[in-house]
Chains A and B, each alone.
Chain A
Amino acid sequence: MNNRLVKDTLADKIFLKFNFVFLLLALLIVLYPLVYIVSASISDPSLVNSGEMWLLPKGITWEGYTTILNNDSIWRGYANTIYYTVLGTSINLLVTLPCAYALSRKDLYGRSAFMSFLLVTMFIGGGLIPSYLLIKNLGMLNTVWALVIPGAVSVYNLIVTRTFFETTIPREMEEAAIIDGCSDFKMFTSIILPLSMPIIAVMALFYGVGHWNSYFSALIYLSDKAKYPLQMVLREILVLQDMSSNSINGNMSSDMAAMMYSKQQLVQVIKYGIMIVSTLPVIVVYPFLQKYFVKGMMIGSVKG
């Protein structure tokens, strides 16, 4: 970027060539597995399993996807995940945005005390068991609430949002509104929020992807298979299948087992297809929202 200002010498030109080769290599290392998965998911299983398919799809077949889309567990997992993601993200935003705004106001009495109250939790925690016992004692086991309430606010995201409000909303505007007799509530809903669409988008995405991809809280808090999110269904198919010797986890539902065993030779291809199907929503939105993601990450790095 800043290097365009100056002319390159021969040594610099050689360096730039090396640099290019290095980045090209990095690009290919990341890209290749991704392309392979896509190709493998629509190729003839025997060609994939034998290694003949190595880049572009060979012997194209949609059988893997047909099997996946005919599986009830996948659909149920998908529906549950969409529900948890929408509900969870809404709660996250309702809790995070107002709080971050209040904390961005320098005239708030007790602001730094509350910040310390938050920051402590970034370094000290009760750990797995006390948290589990709390959820259990609150009667939240095996309910949606165990997945969406305990993580309703992430301190990191809260600080990022606060920094956004502090740096992009002009103080004078708030002061003018206060002088005009505007209440804090009205100011937040009709002045601040409309000006803050970029950070709302970033937060919705950070939280949303988090909910979409999470499996651990479902693993520890949910016992009812009908409530499993997609990631838990995937865990049964992608991970536990290959580790069938793992007796602790031998809890695959019969529905799933039937699907896997009836199509032995398809198994590998189904796995590749499932990786695509489950990541699809994120892949589809990602290119459009990449710049927001990056912006959010960068605001976070400015910290304060």
Chain B
Amino acid sequence: MSETWKKIKKNRQLYLFILPAFLVILIFSYIPMYGIIIAFKDYVPALGIWGSPWVGFKHFQRFFDSYYFWDLLKNTLGISIYSLIVGFPLPIILALALNELKDGKFKKITQTVTYAPNFISVVVMVGMIVAFLNPSTGLINHVLDFLGFERMDFMSDPKWFKTVYVLSGVWQSTGWSSVIYLAALSGVDPELHEAAVVDGASRLRRIWHINLPTIRPTMVILLIMSVGSIMSLGHEKILLMQNPLNLESSNVISTFVYQQGLLDAQYSYATAVGLFNSVINAILLISVNKVADKLNETSLF
């Protein structure tokens, strides 16, 4: 015991270094976790979290029974899976393609330009989407018109919402997401390539049999992380893109929580819905992690 105490005493200044971060995390991450219990209560601000009466699963029941439950679930899963299928492979392809270039001007320009949209804020991004898709003045509609198609009002048509959301996301983040894969590719052993060339392997074959297997652990980790966040869909962007006309396909669980909780002040109900969301998320994360662990022996934890 005194041994431990000695170690702690020796590091006392280091504990002071940790203290601010510890307090911030304790207060702003752990206390809200405790606050989740209001999902099982009828929260009355005057009574506080602990003093409010317990109601069991009432709020969950109400959510499952509501007519919008299936729509919300369908939209949340639909948008996530759509963006996963389109958005996951593209950074890998971009990184593999960039990796085949010699370090020159073209490579540098392509990288600089494709990374750049990552630094555009969500608000500006949605502003761009709205401006480009404007039925009478937007760029996309001018192109459609020029090619002989009919002009479309993308933002007020529920059919288009998911596609607009996903493709704009791809435009903004593919370049930046490829950075991690490029880093992993720089670890490929050149001798493997030399040996493969001696055996007569083409570039394509070498990409397939050498480069891809090398970055597979990175791919698996990133895939697990994106599946794990399937339900916690970017409410920041969706909230900005939402309008009453496209609500049918743009209403997802996280924007619903914002609307019920903060605009309508139904704290307990919104917390319950949010908790449902997190539980599904955790189940997805754990199961994908398990599967990846079995198949690939790569896992997040």
**Residues of A that sit less than 8 Å from B by CB:** 1-9, 11-12, 15-16, 19-20, 22-23, 26-27, 29-31, 33-34, 36-37, 48-51, 54, 94-96, 98-99, 101-103, 105, 107-110, 114, 117-118, 121, 123-134, 149-153, 155, 158, 183-185, 188, 209, 212-216, 220, 231, 234-235, 237-239, 242-243, 245-248, 268, 271-272, 274-275, 278-279, 282-283, 286-287, 290, 293-294, 297-298, 301
A184–B122 contact, CB under 8 A? no
Q: A153-B24, A271-B131 are in contact. Are A49 and B137 (CB under 8 A)?
A: yes
User: Does any Cβ of A come within 8 Å of B270's Cβ?
Assistant: yes
B203–A23 contact, CB under 8 A? no
Which of the candidate stretches B72-80, B81-89, B258-266, B291-299 sits at the interface with the other chain?
B258-266
A124–B275 contact, CB under 8 A? no
Give the CA-CA distance A243 to B130 in the complex, in Å.
9
User: Does any Cβ of A come within 8 Å of B280's Cβ?
Assistant: no
B237 vs chain A, min Cβ distance (A):
10
A134–B121 contact, CB under 8 A? no
Instruction: State which of B98, B117, B134, B262 has its C-beta within 8 Å of the C-beta of A128.
Output: B262
B110–A27 contact, CB under 8 A? yes
B29–A290 contact, CB under 8 A? no
Give the CA-CA distance A8 to B4 in the complex, in Å.
63
Give the CA-CA distance A158 to B282 in the complex, in Å.
23
A3–B243 contact, CB under 8 A? no
User: Does any Cβ of A come within 8 Å of B94's Cβ?
Assistant: yes
Instruction: Give 1 or 0 for each of B188-199: 1 = CB within 8 Å of chain A CB.
Output: 101001100100
B150 vs chain A, min Cβ distance (A):
15
Instruction: State which of B4, B29, B184 has its C-beta within 8 Å of the C-beta of A301.
Output: B184
Q: A128-B257, A209-B119 are in contact. Are A102 and B190 (CB under 8 A)?
A: no
Q: Per DSSP, are chain B's interface residues mostly helix, strand or loop, or mixed?
A: helix
How many of chain B's residues have a CB under 8 angstroms from any CB in A? Answer: 108
User: Does any Cβ of A come within 8 Å of B1's Cβ?
Assistant: no
Give the CA-CA distance A96 to B134 in the complex, in Å.
43
**Residues of B that sit less than 8 Å from A by CB:** 4, 7-8, 10-11, 13-18, 20-22, 24-25, 27-36, 38, 43, 49, 94, 97-103, 106, 109-110, 112-117, 119-124, 126-128, 130-132, 134, 136-137, 139, 142, 145-146, 155, 171, 174-176, 179-180, 183-184, 186, 188, 190, 193-194, 197, 202-204, 218, 228, 235-236, 239-240, 242-245, 254, 257-258, 261-263, 267, 270-271, 274-275, 277-278, 282, 285
Instruction: State which of B11, B183, B271 has its C-beta within 8 Å of the C-beta of A127.
Output: B271
Give the CA-CA distance A273 to B194 in the complex, in Å.
52
B100–A6 contact, CB under 8 A? no
Contact partners of B274 in chain A: CB under 8 A: 127-129
Q: A9-B202, A121-B25, A286-B116 are in contact. Are A184 and B13 (CB under 8 A)?
A: yes
A250 vs chain B, min Cβ distance (A):
12
Contact partners of B28 in chain A: CB under 8 A: 131, 134, 149-152
A12–B203 contact, CB under 8 A? yes
A5–B121 contact, CB under 8 A? no
Contact partners of B103 in chain A: CB under 8 A: 1
A102–B15 contact, CB under 8 A? yes
Jot down 8 A-B pairs with beta carbons below 8 A, ordered by A: A1-B103, A7-B197, A34-B117, A51-B139, A99-B18, A127-B271, A129-B257, A278-B124
Give the CA-CA distance A117 to B18 in the complex, in Å.
12
Closest chain B residue to A243, Cβ basis: B243
Contact partners of A20 in chain B: CB under 8 A: 101, 106
Most buried by B among A50, A123, A155, A287: A123
B111 vs chain A, min Cβ distance (A):
8
B197 vs chain A, min Cβ distance (A):
4
A19–B100 contact, CB under 8 A? yes
A27–B114 contact, CB under 8 A? yes
Instruction: State which of B24, B29, B203, B245 has its C-beta within 8 Å of the C-beta of A125.
Output: B29
B110–A130 contact, CB under 8 A? no
A35 vs chain B, min Cβ distance (A):
10
A189 vs chain B, min Cβ distance (A):
11
B15 vs chain A, min Cβ distance (A):
7
A297 vs chain B, min Cβ distance (A):
5
Given contacts A15-B203, A243-B243, 10 further A-B contacts (CB under 8 A): A12-B203, A101-B14, A105-B14, A110-B8, A124-B33, A134-B32, A235-B123, A239-B240, A293-B115, A301-B218
Q: A51-B145, A121-B25 are in contact. Are A272 and B240 (CB under 8 A)?
A: no
B193–A215 contact, CB under 8 A? no
Q: A3-B193, A286-B119, A298-B180 are in contact. Are A134 and B35 (CB under 8 A)?
A: yes
A98–B17 contact, CB under 8 A? yes
Query: 3 closest A-B pairs (Cβ-Cβ)?
Result: A126-B32, A130-B35, A238-B127
B179–A298 contact, CB under 8 A? yes
Closest chain A residue to B271, Cβ basis: A129
Contact partners of B113 in chain A: CB under 8 A: 27, 30-31, 34
Give the CA-CA distance A257 to B199 in the complex, in Å.
70
Closest chain B residue to A184, Cβ basis: B13
Instruction: State which of A1, A12, A231, A239 has its C-beta within 8 Å of the C-beta of B99.
Output: A1
Instruction: State which of B11, B94, B99, B190 has its C-beta within 8 Å of the C-beta of A109.
Output: B11
Closest chain B residue to A219, Cβ basis: B239
B194–A6 contact, CB under 8 A? yes
A123–B285 contact, CB under 8 A? yes
